[in-house]
Structure 1
Amino acid sequence: MKITYLRKLKICTVNISQYTSEFKKNWYLAAPVILGMLGHTFVGFIDNIMVGQLGTAELAAVSLGNSFMFVAMSIGIGFSTAITPLVAEADAAENTTLVKSSYKHGLILCTVLGILLFLVLFFSKPILHYMQQPEEVVALTLPYLDLVAFSLIPLIIFQGIKQFSDGLSLTKYPMYATLWANIVNIFFNYVLIFGKLGFPEMGIVGAAYGTLISRIVMVAYLWFILRKNNRSRKYLKNIKIFVVESAMFQKIINLGSLTAMQMFFEVAIFTTAVWLSGLLGKNPQAANQIALNLASMTFMVAIGFSVAAMIRVGNQKGLQNFVELRRITFSILFLGLIMASIFAIFFFIFHQSLPKVYVDFKDAVNFQDNLEVVSIASKLLLVAAIFQISDSAQVMILGALRGLQDVKIPTLITFISYWIVGFPISYFLGKEAVLGSFGIWLGLLAGLTTASILLFIRFNSLTLKLIAKKNELT
């Protein structure tokens, strides 16, 4: 009986080790992406903290303005994501021509999309007056949105270059670019929001200028460093911009448009949470912004593992090794869920103290408002703690599916999860007479949980079919 137990223990150890043995490589790819994505979120974190010192109306204005930005960003970033699996697959197959073509056509499309998204946001500003949001918040949002919308152009261009770099497994360079951008953003936020070092005091418009300048710096730095790198330089030389292939454009558009829709469906449900919170008042909207900003930072870790899954799955797809592809994906899921569990515990323990970082309790004028904002935000963080697991799982599985270039069914799954399941719950439970802000976030939890379950079923079914099909051919 003792021998049987030892054998079982040995088999269990072997089974676990086949996944944990990949942790180092997964982390090597994911860590720079995580730091880079945290850098993006940190820009918002710094904006929120500095703007929060001005008052809850200003914080709510940033939240409302960024809600429009997040929708536009989801489309741009989602579209650019199509570049990574194409580059990763071509790189594994050592197809230099295809790598260059994927980069060139992807970057052209990202540039055009960035300009179009800016124009859409710029001309859609009047909608703010018809959304039943607090008037003082709308008045502050309009000038802020002008500049932040324009920053979409360099941001989406940066994403195109970043996705190319990620596809070559050069994930550290976008991280460096983002870190530099953060330094620039913090400096300009400080001097322009509060009027330091001889600069004019511009309030939340100063935060918008800081965001715009930092995003221009990101593009310039990443382009420069990739031109100097030995591995990426060969793909950036002798690119004929005006010689294009409609077939490659079509391939990127087919992948990118559906990937963008996936991200849009998820980001839009969180954006709707901002708008529904605005119907409850400026304080619930400010509280929603605090909880969303904190949850976004932990979500960036899952995004990092999602990119690692996309790269490694793309490589294995190029090699047609689907058994290894499944093993690698499960190893990434294993590591990512461990991290998500740690964040969940962190939010549970510190849900009351974390929101206090965003407000100034020494401000006697806004003391009662700040007290209400912290109270609401602390309850929302309890929901955020619970959905750490499902949110992380769904985005990592989506990364693997994108690496497989499987986008149609996942797009349908995300729509069903967030808009057939999640939104109705947020809408009905989020009314002031029911659960208010807490009810809105229960809808988010329901949508994310549904998505994680359905996407896992899709990945498991698809990869088993690919393995069976290859076995039949051999």
Structure 2
Amino acid sequence: MLGMLGHTFVSFIDNIMVGQLGTAELAAVSLGNSFMFIAMSIGIGFSTAITPLIAEADSSNNLQQARSSYKHGLFLCTFLGIILFLGIYFSKPLMYLMKQPKEVVELAIPYLDLVAFSLIPLVIFQAIKQFSDGMSMTKYPMYATLIANIINVILNYVLIFGKFGFPEMGIVGAAYGTLASRIVMVIYLWTLLRFKERSARIVKDIKFFVLDILMIKRIINLGSLSAMQMFFEVAIFTAAIWLSGLLGKNPQAANQIALNLSSMTFMVAMGLSVASMIRVGNQKGLQNFKELRRIAFSIFLLGILFAIFFASIFYLFHKSLPNIYVDLNDTANYSDNMEVLSIASKLLLAAAFFQISDSIQVVVLGALRGLQDVKIPTILTFVSYWVIGFPVSYFLGTKEMYGSFGIWLGLLAGLTTASILLFIRFNLLTLKLIKKKNELT
């Protein structure tokens, strides 16, 4: 959980510090990050293919498979990181075609250039992290993200506001902080795993460019569909940012506040999803499907308990939580800030209600990935978010209907549908595996 929270905490710090500059700057970071969310979802989603393969190899003591999964996963993620960077870099002109506020676009473009480049070390880190997670060595990626966040906070402070003789760079300073922290994450985790006895035998002396086509195909088959699953979900949240931009800079800034807070709770669920993937992958390697099902349901229950806690926090403090993102003493932007706070507080009510369904869908999805079941879940996530969720957001999110709150009602509809469909899929699949094994014995 702490490892996954590290990614979001970088954005959390950026948003709080940038929010002190004004609502236009906060909206610009939101718009720039909307492109990043899509790319990150593809990179992180693809890298999750490594975890169940490593977990299965680890539980069955298959060193050759573990080395092959790590090497090919790292190679493919490095290549993907470069492709994602180029895709984001050359897609910047789309901002002018999306009817977003002009001042927001002009601020967002230089910010996006640097943050897009940080995708390369981020996706490389994800590959190494997923290997480490698959080996049940989850504390080392956590250390890496904690160190990265400390570096990000320090660099943000000196570069955004121009402290200790550094130039005042505004939101571009936040981008430099993000880039530097992500490079440090890669160097730290890669070095650490080379000196740990359990992982050194796998990660050392890798012939990086001697590749096995069959293993590449296997990772691509798993990774591409996992990436699509995460893409379908993140893309609807990105669509919410763009739809909010059609309503104006203040609704867009408010959307960013609510999205950033709910993203942090989502990362807790993502941590449980990774745990689910690891433990289900272990039991799949042992062919112990009854124990697999017991473990999975235990993690589902834990996810629901965390979700209820976060839902309570959002509901009870929906008016006060957004205050940390804006400067209430800024008289020049006082009316804008008040409007942002008003909208954000309403969006947190919607976020409170979808905590449970969001947690269930992502933790169950992790269990299905542990089973290496990705095709049907990909279809289910597409139907949930884009056949059901997005049309509701689009229809209810206009000024004539419910505005920003209507957009988030669509998110609630999509997440709830996904949680129900994915749980049904996991339940039926595991019962089928247990029945099949009983028949064989």
Please, what TM-score do these two structures have when normalized by structure 1? 0.93
Which of 172, 194, 204 is the aligned partner of 2:139?
A: 172
1:148 and 2:140 aligned? no
Residue in structure 1 matched with residue 152 of structure 2 by the alignment: 185
What is the rounded CA distance, in whole Å, between the counterparts of 1:109 and 1:343 in structure 2? Answer: 36
Deviation string 1:304-355 (CA, Å, 9 cap, x unpaired) is 1100000000000000011110000000011111111011111110000000
1:337 and 2:304 aligned? yes
Q: How does 1:271-350 map to 2 (within 5 A)?
A: 271-350=238-317
RMSD: 0.5
Deviation string 1:51-70 (CA, Å, 9 cap, x unpaired) is 00000000000000000000
The code of the aligned residue for 2:141 comes to P
1:278 Cα deviation after fit: 0.1
Q: Which is further off, 231-240 or 386-395?
A: 231-240
Please give the secondary structure, in 2, of the residue aligned with 1:240: coil
Residue in structure 1 matched with residue 339 of structure 2 by the alignment: 372
What is the rounded CA distance, in whole Å, between the counterparts of 1:237 and 1:120 in structure 2? Answer: 32
What is the rounded CA distance, in whole Å, between the counterparts of 1:100 and 1:374 in structure 2? Answer: 50
What is the rounded CA distance, in whole Å, between the counterparts of 1:244 and 1:42 in structure 2? Answer: 36
Which of 36, 41, 49 is the aligned partner of 1:69?
A: 36
What is the rounded CA distance, in whole Å, between the counterparts of 1:272 and 1:209 in structure 2? Answer: 26
Q: How does 1:171-320 map to 2 (within 5 A)?
A: 171-320=138-287
Residue in structure 1 matched with residue 83 of structure 2 by the alignment: 116
1:59 and 2:59 aligned? no
Deviation string 1:223-280 (CA, Å, 9 cap, x unpaired) is 0111111111110122111211000000000000000000000000000000000000
1:425 and 2:380 aligned? no
Unaligned runs of 5+ in 2: none
What is the rounded CA distance, in whole Å, between the counterparts of 2:119 and 2:281 in structure 1? Answer: 28
1:394 and 2:356 aligned? no
The code of the aligned residue for 2:361 comes to Q
Q: Which is further off, 401-410 or 239-248?
A: 239-248
Task: Show structure 1 runs of 4+ deviating over 3 A.
Answer: none
What is the rounded CA distance, in whole Å, between the counterparts of 1:107 and 1:57 in structure 2? Answer: 38
1:132 and 2:132 aligned? no
What is the rounded CA distance, in whole Å, between the counterparts of 1:87 and 1:363 in structure 2? Answer: 52
What is the rounded CA distance, in whole Å, between the counterparts of 2:2 and 2:99 in structure 1? Answer: 37
What is the rounded CA distance, in whole Å, between the counterparts of 1:147 and 1:237 in structure 2? Answer: 31
Residue in structure 2 matched with residue 158 of structure 1 by the alignment: 125
Please give the secondary structure, in 1, of the residue aligned with 2:164: coil
What is the rounded CA distance, in whole Å, between the counterparts of 2:98 and 2:209 in structure 1? Answer: 43
Aligned positions, number: 441
What is the rounded CA distance, in whole Å, between the counterparts of 2:23 and 2:209 in structure 1? Answer: 49
The code of the aligned residue for 2:38 comes to V
Deviation string 1:70-103 (CA, Å, 9 cap, x unpaired) is 0000001100000000000011110000000000
1:42 Cα deviation after fit: 1.1
What is the rounded CA distance, in whole Å, between the counterparts of 1:395 and 1:202 in structure 2? Answer: 37
Deviation string 1:406-453 (CA, Å, 9 cap, x unpaired) is 000000000000000000000000001100000000000000000000
Higher Rg: 1
Please give the secondary structure, in 2, of the residue aligned with 1:195: coil
The code of the aligned residue for 1:325 comes to L
The code of the aligned residue for 2:162 comes to G
Q: Which is further off, 85-94 or 238-247?
A: 238-247
Residue in structure 1 matched with residue 323 of structure 2 by the alignment: 356
Please give the secondary structure, in 1, of the residue aligned with 2:390: helix
Residue in structure 2 matched with residue 11 of structure 1 by the alignment: none
Please, what TM-score do these two structures have when normalized by structure 2? 1.00
